[in-house]
A and B are shown apart, each in its own frame.
Chain A
Amino acid sequence: MPFERVRVIGLLDAFQAAERAGADAMERWVAACRDPRLRGGLRVIQARDRRHAVLVEARLRALGGQPSARPSRELAALCEVVADPGISDRSKLAALLARSPAPGSAPLREFVERVEGDAETRALLETIDDEERASLAWLHRMRDTLEREDA
């Protein structure tokens, strides 16, 4: 298998593992969340992350790979916070957004730019990035709303 393809498969594998872990954690957050506004948006984000994992896994299999990656220790720790029903929504939002890029930026841009010579994978990730950007903007707005209400 060409080196470039192996590299892309590795990137996709890491991404699908991260999206799956994120979706699992979000699902537990949704189940514990008592704020209907937050729950409504989190449901969309969780469902999208889950589909991203499925799409990216399908792509890596189409390229001849097998999914085997695990989320990084840092991400796993963040997912534990997000999934914990004993931690407040505000704290979860703060933890999540502290690790995320600024609103308006493209969270996956750097990742997309590392995919060379594979237009299908690149477009797939660019389109997923549009959703990640929308999710991030919504989470920022929701954090600001909750902070205003608690002030």
Chain B
Amino acid sequence: MHPRQRERMVRFLDDLRAAEAAAAEVLVAWIAVCPLDGLRGGLRAIAEREAVHADLLAERLRELDVPATAAVAEPVQRAALARFGSAAVSDEEKLGLLLARYPDDGAATHPILEILAEFEHDLETRELLRLIAEGEGATLAWFRAYHAGL
């Protein structure tokens, strides 16, 4: 494998790990102020889903002997925590913000599915990513369905 290709693959894994860990943290902040029982129940499972993805990717990076160094920019994460962890911002607004970022369920899964072909020499990571992508699709579908029901 060309070193540049490997570099691109491991960077993708590390960036995704950082994004999933950051998302889990934001969701936990949201749960703490969420007054809607049904939404809170879904958020709990989805926050755990994101945390599991981050843990699995971190573990895989360790096995590949790659240090996990990526991080979501601190101002971005701070702003997300402030907004989604605020009781003054309605749940409907939070859901709207989240869904505006992902106009369809494929918006979160496409970047992962597109890179799968590059993992033809690392089938373990490829299948791991495939199931993570499906989890991301399920997350958006659940948020969309909940938002539509409000």
CA of A119 to CA of B41, assembled, Å? 7
Candidates B39, B124, B131; contact of A36 at CB < 8 Å: B124
Contact A47 B40 (CB under 8 A): no
From known contacts A47-B52, A51-B52, A119-B38, infer whether A138 and B131 are also in contact, taking CB-CB under 8 Å: yes
Q: Is A120 touching B52 in the complex (CB atoms < 8 A)?
A: no
B residues whose Cβ falls under 8 Å from a Cβ of A = 36-42, 44-46, 48-49, 51-52, 55-56, 122-128, 130-132, 134-135, 138, 141-142
Q: Give 6 nearest A-B pairs by CB, closest first.
A: A123-B41, A40-B127, A127-B45, A124-B41, A120-B41, A40-B124
Q: How far is the CB of A150 from chain B (nearest CB, A)?
A: 17
Pick the contact of B48: A39, A51, A122, A126 (CB < 8 A): A51
- Do B132 and A39 touch across chains, with their CB atoms under 8 A apart? no
Q: Write out, one digit per residue, whether chain A residues 84-128 have a CB within 8 A of any chain B CB (1) or not (0).
A: 000000000000000000000000000000000011111111111
A133 CB to nearest B CB, Å: 8
Chain A residues contacting B46 (CB-CB under 8 Å) are 127
Interface members, chain A 1-55 (any B CB < 8 Å): 36-41, 43-45, 47-48, 51, 54-55
Cα A137 to Cα B39 in complex, Å, equals: 26
**Contacts A41-B128, A44-B131; is A119 near B37 (CB within 8 Å)?**
yes
The answer on a CB contact under 8 Å between A123 and B40 is yes
Main secondary structure of the interface of B (DSSP, over half): helix
Chain B positions within 8 Å of A122 at CB level: 38, 41
Find out whether the CB atom of A37 lies under 8 angstroms from the CB atom of B131: no
A38: chain B residues at CB < 8 Å are: 127
CB-CB under 8 A for A126 and B42, given A36-B124, A37-B126: yes
Residues of B within 8 A of A39 (CB): 124, 127
Instruction: Judge if A144 is at the interface, Cβ distance under 8 Å.
Output: no
- Give chain A nearest CB distance to B125 CB in angstroms: 6
| A 58-89 binary contact with B (CB < 8 Å = 1; else 0) | 01000000000000000000000000000000
Determine the chain A residues whose CB is within 8 A of the CB of B124 once the complex forms.
Answer: 36-37, 39-40, 43
Contact residues in B for A124 (Cβ distance below 8 Å): 41-42, 44-45
